[in-house]
């Protein structure tokens, strides 16, 4: 089946209501959240139904959508209450639910007809016949397995009209499609039911036993062994994703900060818009990748899209690149006459430091902090207290929900 080139959705994570609003303000067409049951992020700031209602209202007012991840692998007894859960999601206006377990999918169709279902990446959809199978079951979108190559995506796009969603940025699980039991054995926490302890990212010594003698293969001056994968980033390859027919470009990170969510959503928004508005004259802007490095937690790669990952895509040995910025403050108000901004502190910073402001659709600017006042108008050298209100003069106009970061 041939596909018409269309602008894909930028889909951002939202671990709580604040992150939902920030993601949408910074360019996301849709967000995915977790409820208080049936998801894989039990430690995220998961939404109550009342919070979902607030999030849906905000999203729909801004022409954005909200999806709920209910992608756990259900064991005996885990499906209890699922029908009521899905019905409530439908009735409060959730745009779709993301599910991997066939039992939960069946319950959703039976008890909440009319609620669109998307297949989670946990289900490992890797070929077009799989997408056609799920289409016959009533699903309208499939989140592709992270192990799918770009060539396979192109083939899938040519042979089916099922909507395709693919991860383009964020953490990568070291196991196949996230199906891992390492956390179960190491910490008695089930990764497939929302309790992953990320045991793969722990630091380990590596031993060899020879003739009954145990020898540590990790030298004292080397980093301990880790099974951790580097992060995914497809910012350089947005044209390939669009041309392959991917309908939704998914950013990982419901546990990440608003600094991360705002930056990554904004960067991919700019790249997608630039390509789709003028494909023939599109030029990748290196500043986009530089921007992503300001919030990156690990090194970046293209995952499985163009080759089988090697040891170079694994975090082992000395770090090859380290992010240089930390989230410092959020703009609350700005006085155009005095050119003074009121900020809410999010990280310690002080006079003499170089900082950077950025906002929705604004690439930002840098300046040096010259003077600070606390909420009582007293001049201070530093803003050391979390969430404290401060004022400072800024070189250019800023707006509420602009963010400030500083070099580490």
Task: Indicate the SS3 state at residue 256.
Answer: coil
φ/ψ (deg, to 5) at 49: -65, -35
Going from N- to C-terminal start, the domains of the chain cover 9-176+228-313, 179-216, 325-407
Distance CA 365, CA 93 (A): 39
CATH number belonging to domain 9-176+228-313: 3.20.20.70
The pLDDT of residue 203:
79
| Pair type for strands 9-13 and 213-216 | unpaired
CB atoms within 10 A of CB 120: 27
**68-72-74 Cα angle (round to 5):** 130
Instruction: Write the DSSP symbol of residue 262.
Output: H
Best CA proximity match to 298, nearest among 230, 392, 371, 250? 230
Strand partners, 98: 69, 118
User: Domain 325-407 falls in which CATH fold?
Assistant: Elongation Factor Tu (Ef-tu); domain 3 (2.40.30)
Per-residue pLDDT of the chain (408 residues; tens, 9 = 90+): 545 678 999 999 999 999 999 999 999 999 999 998 887 655 556 899 999 999 999 999 999 999 999 988 888 888 999 999 999 999 999 999 999 999 999 999 999 999 999 999 989 999 999 999 999 999 999 999 999 999 999 999 999 999 999 999 998 877 766 677 777 777 887 666 566 777 777 778 778 888 888 887 777 766 677 778 889 999 999 999 999 999 999 999 988 999 999 999 999 999 999 999 999 999 999 999 999 999 987 888 999 999 998 878 887 666 556 667 899 999 999 999 999 999 999 999 999 999 999 999 888 999 999 999 999 999 999 999 999 999 999 999 999 999 999 988
pLDDT digits (tens, 9 = 90+) for 151-178: 999 999 999 999 999 999 998 877 766 6
């Amino acid at each position: 089946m041939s596909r018409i080139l269309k602008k894909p959705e930028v889909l951002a994570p939202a671990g709580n209501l604040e992150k939902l609003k920030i993601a949408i303000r910074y360019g996301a067409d849709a967000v995915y959240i977790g409820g208080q049951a049936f998801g894989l992020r039990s430690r995220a700031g998961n939404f109550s139904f009342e919070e979902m209602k607030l999030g849906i209202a905000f999203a729909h007012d801004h022409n954005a959508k909200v999806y709920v991840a209910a992608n756990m692998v259900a064991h005996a007894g885990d499906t209890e209450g699922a029908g009521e859960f899905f019905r409530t999601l439908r009735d409060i206006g959730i745009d779709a639910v993301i599910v991997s377990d066939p039992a939960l999918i069946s319950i959703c169709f039976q008890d909440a007809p009319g609620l669109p279902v998307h297949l989670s990446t946990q289900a490992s959809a890797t070929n077009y016949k799989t997408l056609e199978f799920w289409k016959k079951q009533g699903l309208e979108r499939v989140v592709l397995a992270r192990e799918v190559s770009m060539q396979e995506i192109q083939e899938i796009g040519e042979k089916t009209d099922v909507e395709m969603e693919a991860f383009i940025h964020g953490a990568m699980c070291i196991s196949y499609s996230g199906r891992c039991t390492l956390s179960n054995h190491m910490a008695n926490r089930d990764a497939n039911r929302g309790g992953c302890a990320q045991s793969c990212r722990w630091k380990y010594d590596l031993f060899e036993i020879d003739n009954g003698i145990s020898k540590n293969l990790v030298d004292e001056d080397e980093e301990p062994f880790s099974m951790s994968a580097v992060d995914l980033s497809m910012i350089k390859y947005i044209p390939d994703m669009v041309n392959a027919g991917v309908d939704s470009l998914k950013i990982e990170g419901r546990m990440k900060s608003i600094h991360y969510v705002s930056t990554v959503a904004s960067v991919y928004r700019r790249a997608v818009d630039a390509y789709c508005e003028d494909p023939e004259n599109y030029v990748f802007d290196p500043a986009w990748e530089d921007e992503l490095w300001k919030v990156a937690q690990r090194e970046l790669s293209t995952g499985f899209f163009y080759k089988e990952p090697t040891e170079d895509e694994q975090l082992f040995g000395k770090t090859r690149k380290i992010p240089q910025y930390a989230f410092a403050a959020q703009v609350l108000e700005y006085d155009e006459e005095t050119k003074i901004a009121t900020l809410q502190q999010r990280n310690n910073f002080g006079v003499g430091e170089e900082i950077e402001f950025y906002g929705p659709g604004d690439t930002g600017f840098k300046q040096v902090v010259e003077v600070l006042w606390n909420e009582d108008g007293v001049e201070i050298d530093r803003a050391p207290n979390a969430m404290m209100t401060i004022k400072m003069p800024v070189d250019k106009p800023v707006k509420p929900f602009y963010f400030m970061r500083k070099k580490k």
